[in-house]
Amino acid sequence: METRRWTNPTQPQTLQIAVFLLYISAVFGVLFGAVFSLIGLVLTVGRAAAGFGIANEKKWGYWLGVGVATLGLLPFALAIVADGVGAILSIGFLINLIFPAALFALLLHPQSRDYQRIWFR
């Protein structure tokens, strides 16, 4: 019998934290009204599904997580292109960048990539 789980304590710490960040981002998307736009709804559902997929060691979950993490960084990259490097000096910009950058780094960390390459189906 195959079990479904929301978290997986047997995974490396990098993947466990990435799963928690995906779930937290999805909850914040619901709480702060991101689900009322089509793009926000897709990203919120994608984050929750990616967290669930990674916890259940599915390759689609990992790649969905990398995709939504990349899309989460896109507004920051566009702000840097539009406003120049001076945008990075804003404290609000840096605070808002923490979660998306951490999620992206955790998913692409060598420990996470090696684990998913070996164990995910």
Query: In 3D, which of 77, 115, 112 has the Cα closest to residue 97?
Result: 77
How many Cβ atoms sit within 10 Å of the Cβ of residue 42?
14
Give the chain's length.
121
- For tokens 């079990």, name the residue: 3
Is it the case that residue 22 has pLDDT exceeding 50?
yes
Give me the pLDDT at residue 2, please: 67
Give me the pLDDT at residue 90, please: 87
Give me the pLDDT at residue 89, please: 85
CA distance 15 to 111: 8
Is it the case that residue 27 has pLDDT exceeding 80?
yes
DSSP state of 10: T
Is it the case that residue 54 has pLDDT exceeding 90?
yes
**Integer CA distances (angstroms), 108 to 6, 11, 37, 96, 101, in order:** 21, 15, 28, 20, 11
Chain mean pLDDT for the chain: 93
Question: Where residue 57 falls among pLDDT bands split at 50, 70, 90?
Answer: very high
